[in-house]
Amino acid sequence: EAGVTQSPTHLIKTRGQQATLRCSPISGHTSVYWYQQALGLGLQFLLWYDEGEERNRGNFPPRFSGRQFPNYSSELNVNALELEDSALYLCASSLEGRGGNQPQHFGDGTRLSIL
Amino acid sequence: AQSVTQLGSHVSVSEGALVLLRCNYSSSVPPYLFWYVQYPNQGLQLLLKYTTGATLVKGINGFEAEFKKSETSFHLTKPSAHMSDAAEYFCAVSDPAWGKLQFGAGTQVVVTP
C-alpha cells in the first residue's frame, strides 16, 4: 500500500512569491491534514479537509489556503511568502476524520525555503 | 481544549538500556492518544495509538505505552534501546471536534554505545 506522497520534496522561493505544495493521501482515506513544522515552533496544525470541504483551519493568516480535489488529493497554497514561512510542511491522511480516533499517516513533507 | 506536555526535550540512553519518554495530556473529553517518531529528513511515523479498550498498548519496533487516566499520562517505553531508536518522538492527543492532532514539543532521543 502506497503511503502519503508529497511533492515537491524541496521548494525554494523568494519573499512575496507564491508556493503550491501537493499531497496524495493513502488510497481509501478521505481526510487530509496539513501541518507546519518550523524550527523552534514545533508542529502546528494548518488545515483539515474532508470529502472536499475545509473542516477546520489553524491559527494562520488567510494567505495560507488550500483545497481538496474529488480524488481526495490536496494542495496547499501560500501567497505573499515571508521569511518566517520557511519550514517543513507535512501532509497527513486518515479514514474519515470526524471523531478523532483514526490515526493520521504522514508523508515525508515538503521543505519550503524562503530567501 | 486539548494539550500535551512532554517532559524532557532531550534524553540520552545507553544501548540496551530502558527507554522511557514521558507524556502528560489535558483533555476535556475521553482522549485519543498517539505516539509518533520522526527520523531526520522524514515525516512522522505512527508508533502506537490508544483509543479505547486495553490501557497497555503495544506498537511497532518494540515500543509500548500505558494510558493512565488517573495520572493523565501516556508514557512510552522500550525495554532495550537500539542505535536505530535515535530519533525525535512526539506524543499527540486528537481533538475530535477540530480534526487536528495537538502535539507535544517532542523529545530527542540519543542512543550511546
Sign of CA dihedral A94, B40, B51, B63: positive
- Inter-chain residue contact B42 with A108, CB threshold 8 Å: yes
Q: What is the pLDDT of residue A2?
A: 81
Structure confidence by residue, pLDDT tens digits, B35-47: 999 999 899 999 9
pLDDT category of residue B53 using cuts at 50, 70 and 90: confident
B89 touches chain A (CB under 8 A): no
B67 touches chain A (CB under 8 A): no
Distance (Å) from the C-alpha of residue B84 to the closest C-alpha of chain A?
A: 18
Distance (Å) from the C-alpha of residue B96 to the closest C-alpha of chain A?
A: 4
Q: What is the pLDDT of residue A16?
A: 97
Q: Which of A60, A104, A108 to mutate to probe the B interface, most B CBs <10 Å?
A: A104
Structure confidence by residue, pLDDT tens digits, B63-88: 999 999 999 999 999 999 999 999 99
Structure confidence by residue, pLDDT tens digits, A30-65: 999 999 999 888 999 999 999 999 999 999 999 999
Higher-confidence residue: A86 or A102?
Answer: A86
DSSP 8-state code for residue A47: E
Distances (CA, A) of A34 to A105, B2, B22: 11, 18, 26
Pairing of strands B107-112, B56-58: unpaired
Q: Which of B36, B44, B50 to mutate to probe the A interface, most A CBs <10 Å?
A: B44
Q: What is the pLDDT of residue A99?
A: 66
Which one of B44, B45, B99 has the shortest CB-CB distance to A56? B99
**Chain A residues with CB inside 8 Å of B36's CB?**
106
